[in-house]
């Protein structure tokens, strides 16, 4: 039996609220040390979770460490992701960035500036940069989300 009903399409509008805040961090500290320093400075609880893993077209495997604070700050859900795996980069266009911080959801300008200022004051952080996700063109960006 064939169903002759029409297919309905629904369009879900995407807003800027759906785009996470992406920050880049320059730091020579290892990932676990940076996560501990951020925990102290920001009053959060970053914990190691499953890494960002993928294979490229040559079947080489890449694994970038990831820490998350989704349990204590559900509004923020901070994630700290390493941008380096040996001599390889998760986002190759950002080779000067050692770590990425993802903050999903809405973050207004005062909150964003406070977060950036607090991270800048963290031990072992040399620099913090706000990264515009819309203008960033990198094939590996999809692995962050």
Stated length of the chain: 145
pLDDT of res. 99:
97
pLDDT of res. 5:
65
**Residue among 47, 44, 45, 38 at smallest CA distance from 123:** 38
DSSP state of 59: -
Is residue 58 within 8 A of residue 84, CB to CB? The reply is no
pLDDT of res. 8:
62
pLDDT of res. 7:
65
pTM of the model as a whole: 0.79
Q: Quick check: helix, strand or coil at residue 31?
A: helix
For the chain (145 residues), the mean pLDDT of every run of 10, in chain order, is: 61 56 94 95 91 87 90 63 92 92 76 90 93 78 67
pLDDT of res. 17:
53
pLDDT of res. 106:
58
Is residue 74 within 8 A of residue 57, CB to CB? The reply is no
Domain boundaries, the chain: 18-135
Architecture of 18-135 per CATH?
A: 2-Layer Sandwich (3.30)
Q: Both tokens of residue 56? A: 């490229």
């Amino acid at each position: 039996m064939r169903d002759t009903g029409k297919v309905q399409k629904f369009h879900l509008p995407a807003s800027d609220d759906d785009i996470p805040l992406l920050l880049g961090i320059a730091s020579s500290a290892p990932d676990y040390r940076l996560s501990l320093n951020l925990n102290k400075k920001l009053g959060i609880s970053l914990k190691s979770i499953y890494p960002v893993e993928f294979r490229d077209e040559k079947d080489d495997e890449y694994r970038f460490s990831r820490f998350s604070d989704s349990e204590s700050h559900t509004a923020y859900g901070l994630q700290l992701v390493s941008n380096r795996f040996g001599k390889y980069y998760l986002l190759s266009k950002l080779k000067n960035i050692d770590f990425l911080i993802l903050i999903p959801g809405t973050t207004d300008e005062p909150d964003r500036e406070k977060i950036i200022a607090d991270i800048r004051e963290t031990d072992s952080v040399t620099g913090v940069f706000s990264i515009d996700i819309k203008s960033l063109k990198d094939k590996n960006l999809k692995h962050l989300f």
